[in-house]
Structure 1
Amino acid sequence: MRLSTSMNLMKKYGSCPKCGNKFVGNGKGGMVIEEYTFERWCKCGWKVVVDVRKDESDD
Structure 2
Amino acid sequence: MEIEKCFKLTKKFLHCPRCGCSRVGNRAGGLVVGDFTFDRWCKCGWKVHIDIREDSRWEDEEKTDIV
TM norm structure 1: 0.89
Q: CA deviation at 1:42?
A: 0.1
**Whose helix proportion is higher, 1 or 2?**
1
**5 Å matches for 1:1-59?**
1-54=1-54
Structure 2 gaps of 5+ residues are 57-67
The residue type equivalent to 1:13 in the other structure is: F
Return the index of the structure with the highest Cα Rg.
1
Please list the CA deviations of residues 4-31 of structure 1 after superposition, one character each: whole Å capped at 9, or x if unmatched.
0000000000110000000000000000
Aligned-pair Cα RMSD in Å:
1.0
Following TM superposition, the consecutive aligned residue runs of length 4 or more in structure 1 with deviations greater than 6 angstroms are none
